[in-house]
């Protein structure tokens, strides 16, 4: 089956946070194969939620390569092609120029990640005009960086780690940068999502009166988590600075 978070039937249970991140990480790895291991490299060109099929254990698999193109060769940085794809997922530079690059796929992946986070469709005519395109609705909140939890799908009912949610949002924000050069590579995205899936959400458990939260193992885990969070923050801060510098140079 294909995954479309916003198209649940009444008898379907909403995907939990961990499953959504597993789908995102798996889809990213599929895209990484096309970009870095296929010979010649392949630009998917039509990455969208309905083209991500879910197998056993919600393992994702990319499908429908009808619009895929071989990546640029020689000293070329893009492929010129007729504009095709699905409204709401296409990168802005591709829509305006027909120039297709690996970073066009990254934009589309960012939209898919936003769908997983928000539970909204990439394009939804049933919503108010200013909310019809998911990217247009989300970008102000992504850019502002406050009240990030407001982006979360209400069906999650708060069952997610706010710190992990914030990290996922940061990845999505980098993916949908209007300047293609500011978007991360798919390998960078895979690394980031692997980190998120290695820190699954667990509902808070009641602590027995006989258990002490100051046990050495707990303290070590906490220190390790803090250290990892600092590393993540430094990495994202560096990426944001690069993004700002490239945008100003452009």
CATH for 168: 1.10.510.10
Mean pLDDT score, 105-122:
97
**What distance in Å separates the CA atoms of residue 248 and residue 207, rounded to the nearest whole number?**
51
Give residue 147's domain range.
Answer: 5-201
**What distance in Å separates the CA atoms of residue 133 and residue 126, rounded to the nearest whole number?**
11
Q: What is the pLDDT of residue 19?
A: 95
Q: What is the pLDDT of residue 213?
A: 42
DSSP 16: P
Domain count for the chain, please give it: 1
Mean pLDDT score, 73-101:
85
Q: Is residue 65 one of the residues assigned to a domain? A: yes
Mean pLDDT score, 158-187:
94
**What distance in Å separates the CA atoms of residue 78 and residue 43, rounded to the nearest whole number?**
10
pTM (whole model) above 0.95: no
Q: Which residues are catalytic?
A: 46
Q: Is residue 138 one of the residues assigned to a domain? A: yes
Q: Is residue 243 one of the residues assigned to a domain? A: no
CB 223 within 8 A of CB 51: no
Confidence of residue 222 (pLDDT cuts 50, 70, 90): very low
- What residues have CB less than 8 Å from 47, skipping those under 6 apart? 27, 31, 62, 89, 105, 108, 109, 112
């Amino acid at each position: 089956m294909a995954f479309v978070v916003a198209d649940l039937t009444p008898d379907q249970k909403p995907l939990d946070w961990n499953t959504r991140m597993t789908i995102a990480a798996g889809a990213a790895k599929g895209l990484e194969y096309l970009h870095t291991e296929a010979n010649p490299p392949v630009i998917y060109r039509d990455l969208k939620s309905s083209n991500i099929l879910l197998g056993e254990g919600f393992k994702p698999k990319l499908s429908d390569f009808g619009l895929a193109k071989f990546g640029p060769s020689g000293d070329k940085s893009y492929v010129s092609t007729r504009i095709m794809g699905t409204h709401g997922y296409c990168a802005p530079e591709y829509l305006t120029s027909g120039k297709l690059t690996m970073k066009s796929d990254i934009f589309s992946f960012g939209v898919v990640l936003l769908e997983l986070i928000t539970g909204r469709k990439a394009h939804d005519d049933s919503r108010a005009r200013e909310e019809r395109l998911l990217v247009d609705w989300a970008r102000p909140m992504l850019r502002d960086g406050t009240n990030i939890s407001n982006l979360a799908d209400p069906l999650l009912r708060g069952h997610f780690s706010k710190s992990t949610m914030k990290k996922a949002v940061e990845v999505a924000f980098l993916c949908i940068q209007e300047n293609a050069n500011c978007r991360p590579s798919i390998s960078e995205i895979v690394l980031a999502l692997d980190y998120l899936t290695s820190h699954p959400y667990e509902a808070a458990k009641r602590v027995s009166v006989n258990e002490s939260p100051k046990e050495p193992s707990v303290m070590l885990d906490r220190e390790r988590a803090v250290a990892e969070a600092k590393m993540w923050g430094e990495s994202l801060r560096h990426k944001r600075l690069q993004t700002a510098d490239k945008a100003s140079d452009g």
